[in-house]
Amino acid sequence: MKAWAQFFEMGGYAFYVWGSFGVALLLMAVEVVLLRRRRRRVLLQQSDRAPKMKVFKENETTT
């Protein structure tokens, strides 16, 4: 337990060391999440396209 506490203290440089690694790893993780979301969004838009065009056409004929 004590060894871990000492480890996280980083000899008094905890803020600088964990601030560096924390932000870097967080950004890298966020990038992957954003890319996955973007992919889902693009593919969903793609599958939405066909039915939407149909609806548009139907409206057109009623007016």
Which residues bind to another protein, rule: CB under 8 A?
7, 10-13, 15-17, 19-21, 23-24, 27-28, 31-32, 35-36, 38-40, 42-47, 49-50
Closer CB to another protein, 5 or 50, in the complex = 50
| DSSP secondary structure of the chain | -HHHHHHHHGGGTHHHHHHHHHHHHHHHHHHHHHHHHHHHHHHHHHHHHHHHHHHHHHHHHH-
Closest distance to another protein from the beta carbon of 28 (Å): 6
Q: Which residues contact 8 (CB under 8 A, 6 or more apart)?
A: 14, 18
Q: Which is nearer to another protein, 15 or 59 (CB)?
A: 15
Q: How far is the CB of 22 from another protein (least distance, A)?
A: 10
